[in-house]
Amino acid sequence: MQTTTHIDLKSAFTQVRAATEKICKPLEIEDYVVQPISDVSPPKWHLGHTTWFFETFLLIPHVAGYEPYDHEFNFVFNSYYESIGSRVIRTDRGNLSRPTVNSIYKYRKYVDVVMSHFLERSDLTQEVIDLVILGLNHEQQHQELLFTDIKYILGHNPLFPEYRKDIDYSIPSKKTENFILVIPEGNYEVGYNGNSFSWDNELGRHKIYLNSYAICSNLVSNAEYLEFILNGGYQDFRYWHAEGWDWVKKNHILAPLYWHTINGQWHNFTFRGMLPIDPDEPVCHVSYFEAYAYANWKGMRLPTEFEWEVAAADFNWGHRWEWTASAYVPYPGYRQAPGALGEYNGKFMVNQQVLRGASEVTSINHSRITYRNFFQTNVRWQFAGIRLAK
């Protein structure tokens, strides 16, 4: 892992931990507990799990005499680390009426105090500094998950309560033409090679050959996606993968997640409650299946992750995670780190597609051109959209 020692670790730690709690501020206590589907974790679980990460990987191994806050919490807040022992299965996180929200906030405070003292020490090794930076990046990933999970929880409450009146994550998109950038054929380099933090899945910068291709400078808008819906896109098997078509039929999919017709008008659930669809906003909350079918219907395709990376400096990205045509597989020379942290990325490199970019709910300082996000082809609760290529 690449790291830098030139940041004030303690203030970065304080800032990231506070940002997580700020996301939860508008919640009522009941909002913290529910788990409507297995992908969506209760907000209280994220608060505990990010804290557990620092306790497990930093405080227990590196602070002499550290006494864990509660010995049962390893069982409750371990996410998927087989090396760290047994854990509450993911689908049961919504059954955790205990530990209470209050006790999880106390847990955060307890760990924060010890971490703050720890980060004041002048003898921290590079290994420890790397782990702290990893923990902060991990917590930033969970900050985005808090947004996506809170949206799902409130957006599946029959009353559609708003998250915050004063929040506006809608993107006023430019009504310019979908200018298409043409990239000449040739050899290009992809992958991370800087001196700051990156995930291990971005390392191994390597050469690739690309045929000439064109890529849209804009994301697909709601208005454009609506045309697909109105032209029977969800009723015609020809645009879909076989698996995607099965998914559409089995789940009666008719539109992106959070879209509803009210009195014949399309609306979508937003952080400010249920609102009419903004035609100029980039379409959001679509699955890979839908992104692929839309591109197919348009007579175009999704870019590969390498096409995306090579062209990204020339277009505006960061509003939606963008589905790519690339399967999530290791880069040449990828090596899984030893120990539990080797479980972070490598073991998920099967049956998932890469998404590039970042979204409007990605934490500040947590995006870069080489970042590789990944999800299964049917998931829609992330802020994912579509950019076309040909």
Residue numbers at the binding site for Fe ion (CB under 5 A): 79
Our CB check for Fe ion shows the closer of 174 and 347 to be 347
Dist. CA 303–CA 325, nearest whole Å:
6
Pairing of strands 265-270, 213-216: unpaired
Our CB check for Fe ion shows the closer of 79 and 268 to be 79
Least distance in angstroms from the C-beta of 145 to Fe ion: 8
Our CB check for Fe ion shows the closer of 218 and 373 to be 373
Our CB check for Fe ion shows the closer of 148 and 270 to be 148
Least distance in angstroms from the C-beta of 52 to Fe ion: 9
Least distance in angstroms from the C-beta of 65 to Fe ion: 27
Least distance in angstroms from the C-beta of 293 to Fe ion: 31
- 38: tokens are 């297995």
CA 361 to chain centroid: 9
266 phi, psi to nearest 5 deg: -75, 130
The answer to whether 244 touches 289, Cβ cutoff 8 Å, is yes
Least distance in angstroms from the C-beta of 175 to Fe ion: 39
Dist. CA 106–CA 66, nearest whole Å:
16
Least distance in angstroms from the C-beta of 100 to Fe ion: 21
Q: Give the three-class secondary structure for 173.
A: coil
Three-state secondary structure string covering 298-329: CCCECCCHHHHHHHHHHCCCCCCEEEEEEECC
Residues in contact with 225: Cβ distance below 8 Å, sequence separation at least 6, in sequence order: 256, 283, 286, 294, 386
Least distance in angstroms from the C-beta of 80 to Fe ion: 8
Chain position whose Cβ is nearest to Fe ion: 79
Our CB check for Fe ion shows the closer of 148 and 326 to be 148
Dist. CA 147–CA 155, nearest whole Å:
12
Dist. CA 248–CA 235, nearest whole Å:
9
Our CB check for Fe ion shows the closer of 268 and 345 to be 345
Dist. CA 137–CA 198, nearest whole Å:
9
Our CB check for Fe ion shows the closer of 87 and 156 to be 87
